[in-house]
Amino acid sequence: MWHRTIGSGPRRVVWIGGIHGDESEGITATKHLGEAFVEVSGLCKEVTLIIVEDINPDGRIHKTRGNARGVDLNRNYPAKNYKSGGSRGAKPISEPEAEALYHLLIKSDPHLVLVAHSWGRRKKGPRAFINFDGPAQGLAEEFSHHSKYPVVPSSKMHGTPGSLGSFIGIDKGIPILTIEYERGSDPQRCWEETKEAILAVIDDRNNDEHLIKSADK
């Protein structure tokens, strides 16, 4: 699993550019995020940013949701709601890709996790939106303010047993934001629509409440 670390600040943020191989809309955001992060004055001293390019290279090559063994890498974590079998795998972190991300997250102990996904628009549903798990509503609203993507909490979506959001956000209590880009849209457009929002929640220096939580963590 390829990843790189930029900055050396006390606030730790992990960006995950892809989990499902048929959702590549975040590829440009992942490519340009490091450069954009460095360009924000003083941010490298405030934040340590870990950029994970993609945890599902096999799925990306074959444009499949799951990995080479057909397991959904967003349903393979040791969350309390995990259910074995089918596309979720025989047991939590049975897949090497999920295990690698699990260990990275446990080791880095982030204050925020951001994940790029995409979805096919439903009837009466938003074109794209920001989803959150755990204590992340304020950050989701901040993201929405900058991107105009509506906020959709996981509690209003279908069940996601064993998901990264369930494990990190609900069980571990770490804020996690899932960016649901419009499926099939131009990755450059996705980046342009969300660049300001992504940097705002990574930075978060103007939000005293979140800074206090980060300092206490």
> What residue type is 72 in one-letter code?
D
Each of the 217 residues of the chain gets a pLDDT tens digit; together they read 899 999 999 999 999 999 999 999 999 999 999 999 999 999 999 999 999 999 999 999 999 999 999 999 999 999 999 999 999 999 999 999 999 999 999 999 999 999 999 998 777 789 999 999 999 999 999 999 999 999 998 877 777 899 999 999 999 999 999 999 999 999 999 999 999 999 999 998 766 444 334 444 4
pTM for the full predicted model:
0.93
pLDDT for res 125: 81
What's the confidence (pLDDT) of residue 211? 39
Spell out the domain ranges in the chain. 3-132+143-216
The reported pLDDT for the residue numbered 121 is: 73
**Assigned fold of 3-132+143-216:** Aminopeptidase (3.40.630)
Q: Where are the alpha helices (DSSP H) in 95-136?
A: 96-108
User: Which residue's structure tokens are 């209590």?
Assistant: 173
Q: What pLDDT, on a 0 to 100 scale, did the predictor assign at position 157? A: 75
Quote the pLDDT of residue 208: 44
Measured at the alpha carbon of residue 42, what is the angle toward residues 115 and 31, in degrees to the nearest 5?
Answer: 35
Sequence length of the chain is 217
Q: Give the per-residue pLDDT at 205.
A: 79
Per-residue confidence (pLDDT) for residue 207, from 0 to 100: 66
Letter string b/e over residues 4-34, b meaning 16 or more CB atoms within 10 A of that residue's CB: eebbebebbbbbbbbbbbebbbbbbbbeebb
CA–CA separation, 49 vs 104, rounded Å?
A: 13
> Which strands sit side by side in the sheet containing 47-52, from one edge to the other?
3-6, 47-52, 11-16, 112-119, 176-182, 129-133, 151-153
Give Cβ neighbours of residue 56 (< 8 Å, ≥ 6 apart).
18, 19, 20, 21, 66, 67, 73, 97
